Amino acid sequence: MCIRKPPFPRLLLNNVSCMRNAQHVLRHVNVSLHNGSALVLTGANGSGKTTFLCMLAGFSRPSAGEILWNGHNIQDSGIFHQYKLKLNWLSLKDAITDRFTVLENVQWFELLEGKYGKALPALELMGLGRLAKEKPKMLSMGQRKRVQLAMLIVDRPIWLLDEPSVALDDEGVKLLEYIISEHRKNGGIVIVATHLPIEIHDSMLLRLPPRFPRRMTFFDMLDRSYIM
Ligand SMILES: Nc1ncnc2c1ncn2[C@@H]1O[C@H](COP(=O)(O)OP(=O)(O)OP(=O)(O)O)[C@@H](O)[C@H]1O
């Protein structure tokens, strides 16, 4: 009988901890991510969701443990250069410039990837075809978020999404869910930090514990007339 070894995860967080301001934000996190998988991070404000994504992006180093990509530590200099080219980062602060039109912003991103021809269809999918030639300052917050989603479609295998559904309407959230699902079908990995419900089929959920557990909730205080 031939017993096959399970495949090595594409991304592995091995007993990872992270400190900020000399205090532990994350402790002993273990996560394995294979091609096509998704991880949803939830937790109270300040629990460390963005810190988690920043570590995966290589912006901050784990204080203990290691993050392995294809079995190599992402902090190794030769590896980090290759690894960061696989990442696509979406956060509340976008990188859209008013010097370019909406279309040129997405095309610029595409050009960096050495790709061509996906920018306009991506904007059309996001319902922004008619605004393609406008300057981004003409856009609403939700429309800017849709431009960011169009940039994601241009495609790198690992998506790190910090609160991707903020400012999106119901249709925008459905589009977000759709592109996440298509990306995963193509073997991509998605890690999402969110407070808002997003439907991501068959995803792993990591709920980070609160950093400063409260003895009393806001509603307890209301009940006991501490405030008002
Ligand atoms: N630049 C920084 N320097 C020091 N400490 C920081 C820094 N940024 C964040 N922190 C601390 O790290 C902790 C985790 O912050 P983080 O932004 O990761 O939380 P979060 O779960 O993403 O929160 P939110 O839901 O509010 O976005 C917080 O307690 C915060 O005070």
Residue 17: count of CB within 10 angstroms of its CB: 15
Instruction: Note whether residue 2 is domain-resident.
Output: no
Instruction: Note whether residue 118 is domain-resident.
Output: yes
The alpha carbon of 171 and the centre of ligand 1 are apart by a number of angstroms equal to: 30
Residue 163 Cα: closest atom of ligand 1: 27
Mutate to test the pocket of ligand 1, among 16, 19, 23, 25 (most ligand atoms within 8 A of CB): 25
| H helix runs in the chain, sequence order | 49-57, 77-84, 102-112, 119-125, 141-153, 170-185, 218-223
Nearest to 199 by CA among 171, 180, 186: 180
Instruction: Note whether residue 175 is domain-resident.
Output: yes
Q: Which residues have CB under 6 Å of ligand 1?
A: 20-21, 25, 43, 45-51, 211
pLDDT value for 5: 64
Instruction: Note whether residue 98 is domain-resident.
Output: yes
The alpha carbon of 67 and the centre of ligand 1 are apart by a number of angstroms equal to: 20
Stated pTM of the model: 0.89
pLDDT value for 2: 62
Instruction: Note whether residue 120 is domain-resident.
Output: yes
pLDDT value for 218: 67
Residue ranges of the chain with per-residue pLDDT less than 50:
none
Cα–Cα distances in angstroms (integers) from residue 76 to residues 7, 133, 168, 189, in the given order: 22, 42, 37, 21
Domain membership of residue 147 as a residue range:
11-205
Instruction: Note whether residue 218 is domain-resident.
Output: no
Cα–Cα distances in angstroms (integers) from residue 100 to residues 42, 90, 123, 177, in the given order: 35, 19, 15, 28
Instruction: Note whether residue 224 is domain-resident.
Output: no
Give the CATH number, domain containing residue 58: 3.40.50.300
* Residue 207 φ then ψ, to 5°: -100, 115
pLDDT digits (tens, 9 = 90+) for 114-135: 888 999 999 999 999 999 999 9
Query: What is the value of ipTM here, to two decimals?
Result: 0.95
pLDDT value for 87: 95
The alpha carbon of 4 and the centre of ligand 1 are apart by a number of angstroms equal to: 42
pLDDT value for 154: 75
Instruction: Note whether residue 44 is domain-resident.
Output: yes
pLDDT value for 77: 84
Domain count, the chain: 1
Ligand 1 atom 29: residue of nearest CA: 46
